Amino acid sequence: SDHINLTGFSPLTGADAPAPLHGRFVDLTDAYSSRLRTIAKSVDPTLREGVYMGFHGPHFETPAEIRAARVWGADLVGMSTVMETIAARHMGLEVLALSLATNLAAGISGEKLSGDEVLAIGKASATRVGGLLADILKKIDLEKN
C-alpha cells in the first residue's frame, strides 16, 4: 500500500523530462492505486497489504537494517519496486505492486541468506504468480469494458 525509499536515489534525478510527463515533483500519496489493490484482493483475498522498504542492493540487508525497517513501519524489504513505481507515477500510470517474499530477512531465522534459495523459491512460485497476474489483468480488462 506504500513504500519507504532507502535506496538513496530517484529515477527523476537529472534533467527534467519534457511534456507530457508530469513534472519533476510527483505526488506519491496514492503511489499504489487503491482501485487496483481492491481488484487484486477480489481475485485473491489472501493477498496482504503492507509497506515495502526499498534498499539499494545488490546485497541482502543487515540484521540492524531489518530492525530499523520494523521500527520505521516496513512489512517487507527488497531491492526493487520503488524506482519502478516512482517512474511509472511520473508517467501518470496507475501502479499495482505485488511482492513475493522469497526469504526471511537477515537476523530473523538465524540462517545465512542465499541468492540461490531466493531464485529457487521464485521459480517454484512462477506458475502461481503468473496465474494471479493473468486473473488480475482479466478483471481489470472486464472492468474497463
Q: Identify the CATH number of the domain in which residue 34 sits.
A: 3.40.50.1580
Q: Active-site residue among 61, 94, 111, 143?
A: 61
Largest alpha-carbon pair distance within the chain? 50
Question: At which residue does the C-alpha cell 519507504 appear?
Answer: 4
Span 25-31, average pLDDT: 92
What domain count does the chain have? 1
| Of 106 and 2, the one with more pLDDT | 2
86 closest CA partner among 14, 24, 28, 18 = 28
Q: What is the pLDDT of residues 79-118, one digit of tens each?
A: 999 999 999 999 899 999 999 998 888 878 888 888 999 9
Q: What is the pLDDT of residues 40-50, one digit of tens each?
A: 999 999 999 99
Q: Where are the beta strands (DSSP E) in 7-75?
A: 51-55
SS3 category, 121? helix
| Full domain range(s) for residue 114 | 2-144
4 closest CA partner among 93, 95, 98, 71 = 71
Can you name the residues that pair with 54 across neighbouring β-strands? 5, 78
Is 49 one of the catalytic residues? no
Contacts 24+ apart (CB under 8 A), 55-61: 55/6, 55/7, 55/79, 56/6, 56/7, 56/8, 56/9, 60/105, 60/106, 60/113, 61/105, 61/106
